[in-house]
Amino acid sequence: MKNSVPTPAFASAQTQPDNGSTAAVMRAGKPRIEFARLRDLALLPALALLIVIGAFVSPSFLTKANLISVLGASAALALVVLAESLIVLTGKFDLSLESTVGIAPAIGAMLVMPAASAGFGLQWPAAIGLLAIVAVGALVGFINGFLVVRLKLNAFIVTLAMLIVLRGMLVGATKGGTLFDMPPSFFALATTIVFGLPLSVWLAAAAFAIAAFMLRYHRLGRAPRVFASSGSLGVCSCSAACWHRSAD
């Protein structure tokens, strides 16, 4: 039996893409994309309604001072949310963030506070206390990463256990009391005003801008999402400790 050779016309017909089918697929996918965008904005009407209700209930709700106060109080929470979001993008989560945010500043403050103010009585310089905050957060992130990545333990169990342990350590260190008489440098981010807003607000905005740029335009930001979908994983905790795992 002779081998049949396709004619040029038949070959071109095979290699030519079906423009009609491609356009139909694109038209079918377009409403889904638009619906996804609308779904992301679903909370805006509810937020606008709450703002209107707040303005009617309290005349001082929409004042400049109150809005600045809300922004300042939300800056720290925004950074925690950003850190958790980066972890979720990689397919993991960290339940110990709450306790980490609690115990790291507490230890840093107690290193510089006198014993009469519920501190350790060391009264170290404030700069060392601030560095201790970063060090404690990095240590917690390293332990979580080692247990989850190297020992391949379940992230839910590890971070939940870390949350409980850190919360117990915090209560034990402070004896359930309130820390006071801290140096002014510990409040610098909230009390330093730059262009009418606290410095903490600008730092949070800068962190979100950098994260958005990295996730959208830089390969380092796109890599965790690709790894999470392909079996490799890179998780970054709020303490700036990175977890890396390659698929076996």
Residues 222 and 137 in one domain: yes
Residues 49 and 117 in one domain: no
pLDDT at 30: 52
**How far is it between the farthest Cα atoms of the chain?**
101
Q: How far apart are CA 76 and CA 64, in angstroms?
A: 20
In a domain, 224, yes or no: yes
Mean pLDDT of 109-124: 85
Q: How far apart are CA 65 and CA 145, in angstroms?
A: 41
Q: Is the separation of the CB atoms in 103 and 170 below 8 Å? A: yes
Q: What is the DSSP string of 189-240?
A: HHH-EETTEEHHHHHHHHHHHHHHHHHHH-HHHHHHHHHHHHT-EEEE-TTS
In a domain, 8, yes or no: no
Q: How far apart are CA 112 and CA 186, in angstroms?
A: 10
Mean pLDDT of 99-107: 92
Q: How far apart are CA 38 and CA 34, in angstroms?
A: 6
pLDDT at 34: 64
Residues 171 and 70 in one domain: yes
Q: What is the pLDDT of residues 139-179, one digit of tens each?
A: 999 999 899 888 989 999 999 999 999 999 999 888 887 88
pLDDT at 38: 72
- Domain of residue 28: give its range: 21-62
Residues 98 and 140 in one domain: yes
Residue 45 has pLDDT above 90, yes or no: no
pLDDT at 242: 41
Mean pLDDT of 198-215: 92
pTM summary value: 0.68
Decide which of 36, 62, 88 is a domain's last residue.
62
Residues 212 and 147 in one domain: yes
pLDDT at 210: 93
In a domain, 12, yes or no: no
Residues 90 and 70 in one domain: yes
In a domain, 204, yes or no: yes
Helices marked H in the chain: 8-15, 19-40, 43-57, 64-89, 97-112, 126-145, 155-174, 188-191, 199-217, 219-230
In a domain, 135, yes or no: yes
Q: Which of 238, 247, 243, 239 is nearest to 86 (CA)?
A: 238
Q: Which two tokens stand for residue 1?
A: 């039996």
Per-residue buried b or exposed e for 29-56, using 16+ beta carbons within 10 Å of the residue's own CB: eeeeeeeeeeeeeeeeeeeeeeeeeeee
Question: How many structural domains does the chain have?
Answer: 2
pLDDT at 128: 92
Residues 120 and 232 in one domain: yes
Residues 147 and 221 in one domain: yes
pLDDT at 243: 42
Per-residue buried b or exposed e for 163-192, using 16+ beta carbons within 10 Å of the residue's own CB: beebeeebeebbeeeebeebbeebeebeee
Residue 79 has pLDDT above 50, yes or no: yes
pLDDT at 35: 62
Residues 37 and 150 in one domain: no
Q: Which two tokens stand for residue 23?
A: 């356009």
Burial (0-12, 13-18, 19+ Cβ within 10 Å), 235: buried
Residues 32 and 132 in one domain: no
